Structure 1
Amino acid sequence: MIPENAKKALDAWVRAAGPIGEKLFGNSDAHWSDIRASYMDALDGQFPAVDGVTFEQTELGGVSAMMVTPREVVDGRTMLYLHGGGYVHGGVKAYRGLTSRYAQALKAKIYVPDYRQAPEFPFPAPIEDAVSAYGALLESGVDPRSLVFSGDSAGGALVVTTMRKLRDAGTALPAAGVAISPWANLTHSGLSATVRDGLDPLCSVQFLDILARTYLAGELPTHPDASPVFADVHGLSPILIQIGENEVMLSDAIHLAANLGEARVRTSLEVWPEMFHVWHLFAGILPQADQALRNAVRFLDDALAAAASGA
């Protein structure tokens, strides 16, 4: 059961996303930059940062990024966090609340690339920027054994796709990754896209279809770089997938976990009853968000310890 204060926060998030839908469906003349800025401001106000964490603007491989630093950082721990937003309407400012909690709990410095987005910069621009940001971290001296990935929605899929790109380039992989509500299949062909459409107020199949078309700009949704359920995922680092049971993306997250597991990637899957898309943003408001974030931190803690010991 979702408490009343969480319901109010969810309603506020839906209202903040309203202008995005209007723009996508051709009912607004507003510029994307203004729509994104307004949306980021709304989410930043709804899900504020916790005390004891600082934020700075920096650059990683030519990509603007937000650097999130808690009071204590253990053994050079670093996270690359890949934000959501359908590759169209996301931005780093909306994630000050979630990343500050992540940084504090994991005792890690977090970098959030402000990657290019469609329609100005369609597929594969966000992937290229994520790879560039990771390369810049390695060039700066960050040890990949002390580095982890996390991301939500589109960023959850980017966790897997970025690892694949690094693997193919022969680049050392991070210790592990956490994919939160990953948008892993842009065909939306999983059963949950039919039977759960309408349960989650944040993501309908109609909304996701137009986001996918905007991002892909003519590329097929079955392209493995767009939909990691169709990709060769052998040789990746351990990955935790967390998905809400009410999400239209549920079946595809399960498909992604199966694809990883069958490729001998150490994979953990958590399905959270009644949870909606990226409920982790509600940490401090919703007990299930706090617990899911604790589980993610525990998974990454274990992976970092194993990487440090050479296991």
Structure 2
Amino acid sequence: MSREQRKMLDDLLRHREPAKSQSVQEMRANFAAMMAAMKVPAGVRTAPTNLGNRPGVIVDPAQDARPGTILYFHGGSYIMGSPYTAMSLTANLVSKTRIRSVSLDYRLAPEHPFPAALKDALAAYRGLLEGGAQGASIVLAGDSAGGGITLTTCLMARDADLPMPAAVVMFSPGLDRTHSGASIDSKKGLDPFFTRESFTFTDTLYLAGQDPNHELVSPARFADLTGFPPLLLQVGTNELLLDDSTQLADRARAAGVDVILDVTADVPHVFQAFTDIIDEADQALDRAALFITQHLR
């Protein structure tokens, strides 16, 4: 692992244009532009689809596909993003596992606040099951807000008496909208993306006045994880959201759930997207791919 690479990435992120007040549309455009610069591996094919009455994107390996489906949820604080902003992550998982992915274009706040995105996610999962897939042939995966959606989809599926997926993969997930973990303050200044104030802004748009003290909003604090499938949490030490993952891992262990907490030093939020800059990104995706194939084989 290269400390020089990690420092270079941190410097790069800190030397972006100074933050200024932006409209939601400007935030979406800037986020899309940033993610469009991420490296997408060759050897995958994409096609539009619909799942659970929402559009999505199928990402297939170019050849020798293995059985199973990765249902992917993109990040973007519930107000930004699309399957295309997460394409580097989704395509890397497909390339490394040779397993098809379906990436969902769920509804975004503030036009569609909580729980619209979660309803879309559950409908997509239900759509795969009604299409003939077994729960044991599906892995849920996502980054940031999408990482949180993977977990809440399991909660809602269990409450609806649907079969659980084979496993869940979360990259830097947002799992606690109360922001009660110590890292929200202890990582201040280390995180090149977020501040407590930036979370307050996006949470206000997403929650639209609803209480964050709810298991579907803050599962790291309130969710009962009994009966959950194996979980993989990948997070960096420079993240304000670090303790979203550490608290969730503690809650999973207490519920008797298999959980891997995979923490990488000195890397930022969703560092797995920076495969052309730091070796740790590829290495983390390799570990995620191994986790997926182990649970789908």
TM-score scaled to structure 1, two decimals?
Answer: 0.89
Q: Which has the higher contact order (CA 8 A, sep 6+)?
A: 2
Among residues 268, 272, 280, which one is paired with 2:260 in the alignment? Answer: 268
Instruction: Say whether residues 1:234 and 2:221 are aligned partners.
Output: no
| Contact map agreement 1:150 1:178 (CA 8 A) in 2 | yes
| Contact map agreement 1:49 1:97 (CA 8 A) in 2 | yes
The unaligned stretches of length 5 or more in structure 2 are none
Distance 1:2 1:165, change over 3 A: farther
Among residues 223, 226, 244, which one is paired with 1:252 in the alignment? Answer: 244
Among residues 109, 116, 123, which one is paired with 1:125 in the alignment? Answer: 116
1:22 corresponds to which letter in structure 2?
A: S
| Contact map agreement 1:130 1:162 (CA 8 A) in 2 | yes
| Contact map agreement 1:156 1:178 (CA 8 A) in 2 | yes
Q: Deviations over 1:240-285 (max 9, x none)?
A: 1111111111122101111111111111101111111000001232
| Corresponding residue of 2:99 | 108
| Contact map agreement 2:64 2:98 (CA 8 A) in 1 | yes
Q: Note the C-alpha offset of 1:166.
A: 0.5
2:243 corresponds to which letter in structure 1?
A: S
Identity %: 36
Q: Deviations over 1:104-150 (max 9, x none)?
A: 10111111111001100000011000011111112222232221011
Q: Partners of 1:276 and 1:185 in 2: how far apart? A: 18
Q: Partners of 2:94 and 2:172 in 1: how far apart? A: 19
Instruction: Say whether residues 1:10 and 2:13 are aligned partners.
Output: yes
Report which stretch shifted further, 119-128 or 63-72: 63-72
Post-superposition, which runs of at least 4 consecutive aligned residues in structure 1 deviate over 6 A?
Answer: none
Secondary structure, aligned partner of 1:92: coil
Q: Deviations over 1:16-73 (max 9, x none)?
A: x95xx623xxxx4xxx4564245313311x1132211111111101111111111135
Q: Partners of 1:281 and 1:187 in 2: how far apart? A: 26
| Contact map agreement 2:104 2:124 (CA 8 A) in 1 | yes
Secondary structure, aligned partner of 1:179: strand
| Corresponding residue of 1:213 | 204
| Corresponding residue of 1:22 | 21
**Alignment RMSD, CA only?**
1.9
The unaligned stretches of length 5 or more in structure 1 are 306-311
Instruction: Say whether residues 1:39 and 2:31 are aligned partners.
Output: yes
Q: Partners of 1:37 and 1:62 in 2: how far apart? A: 25
1:280 corresponds to which letter in structure 2?
A: Q
1:114 corresponds to which letter in structure 2?
A: D
| Contact map agreement 1:224 1:231 (CA 8 A) in 2 | yes
| Corresponding residue of 1:165 | 156
